A and B are shown apart, each in its own frame.
Chain A
């Protein structure tokens, strides 16, 4: 199972995610650019995924919809700015639930023998946009305690105050 590291520094408007995958980068690149493969992995399993548009060429548009058990749909869209096989993909990203907040994401595939180091950077338009995205993930499911929530909120406020 790949181990992923997240760097979310206070006061910055980016998130950098690093993970090492046990596959050559040509395959990783394929899994990112082939809609059939992409649909098999992007997002949590509990969502049904619908690929609406998926043009993996520079300038090509993409739109993917997640559907929950309750029928609620969550759309994501963007444009591929740069697609360089098998090294890099740079694309815009927008959650349609919060339109107008467009982020720029770059996935870089570095070879490590037969493995691939995948560095995914996402840059938001503001620190607030980024923190909003991260804050939205602060609570999962119904079993989590209030303490956990309080801790997270406190951490977020401290990060702000500590600058």
Chain B
């Protein structure tokens, strides 16, 4: 995904109301009226949020049915999460690797100091 697309997606995700709308849509399609209800939002208010989500490709709005249901587009969410933003995974794996690098360093240093201490140490 190009980075400007990524920015649009993250900007859309950065708002709590929009995330709540996505949460609602993850349970199934909903009309604009249904989406407005739990958030104390006016219809134009919720429409504004929906437009942002639509532009970011996170939702689509049906054309056929008269109530024009909104639907979650999971693909875009997945794309957005494919980069390093999976914060926890990123650091879990990094620290795991850091640990390996450190253990190697410790071994190296030990070898060096062992070498200095007794040249005829044949154990390695």
Contact = CB atoms under 8 A, between A and B. Distances in A.
B33 interface: no
Decide if the interface of chain B is mainly helix, strand, loop or mixed.
helix
Contacts of B92: 4
Contact of B83 (A97, A154, A156): A97
B6 A131 contact: no
A2 B85 CA distance: 21
B99 interface: yes
Interface size class of B (residues with CB under 8 A): 35 or more
Contacts of B7: 97-99
9 contacts: A37-B105, A44-B84, A44-B90, A97-B10, A98-B3, A136-B81, A139-B77, A153-B23, A156-B23
Contacts of A133: 85, 87
A23 B103 contact: yes
A44 B19 contact: no
Interface of A: 1-2, 4, 6, 15, 17, 19, 21-23, 27-28, 30-31, 37, 40-45, 47, 66, 68, 72, 74, 95-99, 118, 120, 128-129, 131-142, 146, 149-150, 153-154, 156-157, 160-161
Contacts of A154: 23
Nearest to A23: B102
Interface of B: 1, 3, 6-7, 10-11, 13-16, 19-20, 22-23, 26-27, 74, 77-78, 80-103, 105-106
Contacts of A132: 10-11, 13-14
B39 to A, nearest CB: 10
Contacts of B88: 6, 137
B26 A157 contact: no
Contacts of B91: 4, 6, 17, 120
B97 A40 contact: yes
Contacts of B94: 41-44
